[in-house]
Amino acid sequence: MSEFEERLEKVEARIEAACRAAGRARESVRLLAVSKTKPSEAVEEAARCGLRFFGENKVQEVQHKRPLCAEGLEWHLIGHLQSNKAKVAAPLFHMIHSVDSLKILRALDAHAEQTLPILLQVNVAGEAAKFGLAPEAVRAVLEAANASVHCEVRGLMVIPPFSPDAEKTREFFRALRLLRDRLEEETGTPLPELSMGMSHDLEVAIEEGSTWVRIGTDLFGARG
Ligand SMILES: *Cc1c(COP(=O)(O)O)cnc(C)c1O
């Protein structure tokens, strides 16, 4: 077994255990393999092991990497996007997890040529140095997306404040889920997706309803 296969097996076992503990079906959680900074060979190995969804945080890196990788993979943007990159990003990604302003929503809508699934990133903790919409600003962006031609909001995404103690992130995951529930009720928009949970806190995220766990380090090893 390769090093990657061993790491994947461990991550998979953790996801399965968390789903079981939460009384959820394994299929209700998708594994987004965060391949940022890793070469196309790493993506290819992951793809040979059956992974299909890859998370990246830089447009340029994916422009370079995607043509080197097998077709049929899905590329997801999980990092902040500047509006001058929207034109390149719209056709490059299958889903954008990190829509964090009305401005970027409008830029993506203007450049997309087909339906573009997006998630709205929420700065649940109100951290000054972090990207993401303030919770009270999400509804207006959701309604703008609903009125847009191409952008289709599928749910919400959060990057909670880092804590080595995963249990401390629970309140932020829960807040994202409750915000989602409220927005569904208030606007009637189905928001099935919650992108939350990384290497060290995927269990807590799954217990709180995550449908996309974004795993880099525990799959590909530490980033340089
Ligand atoms: C890098 C990154 C991850 C992966 O983090 P790991 O701790 O390496 O699993 C997840 N989400 C976002 C938004 C990231 O930038």
Give the CA angle between residues 209, 171, 57 to the nearest 5°. 70
CATH superfamily of domain region 3-219: Alanine racemase (3.20.20.10)
Instruction: Sort strands 53-56 and 30-34 into parallel, antiparallel or unpaired.
Output: parallel
Q: How far is the CA of 216 from the centre of ligand 1 (A)?
A: 6
**pLDDT for position 224:** 82
Q: pLDDT per residue over 79-93, tens digit each?
A: 999 999 999 999 999
Band of pLDDT at residue 74, cut at 50, 70 and 90: very high
Can you tell me which atom of ligand 1 is nearest the CA of 97? Answer: 13
Q: Where are the domains of the chain?
A: 3-219
Q: How far is the CA of 209 from the centre of ligand 1 (A)?
A: 18
pLDDT of 217 above 90: yes
Q: pLDDT per residue over 204-215, tens digit each?
A: 999 999 999 999
For the chain, the average pLDDT equals 98
pLDDT of 167 above 90: yes
The DSSP element (H or E) to which 179 belongs, if any, is helix 170-187
15: β partners = none
Instruction: Sort strands 151-157 and 95-99 into parallel, antiparallel or unpaired.
Output: unpaired
pLDDT of 23 above 90: yes
Pocket test for ligand 1, best of 78, 100, 122, 156 (most atoms within 8 A of CB): 78
- State the average pLDDT over residues 186-191: 98
pLDDT of 151 above 90: yes
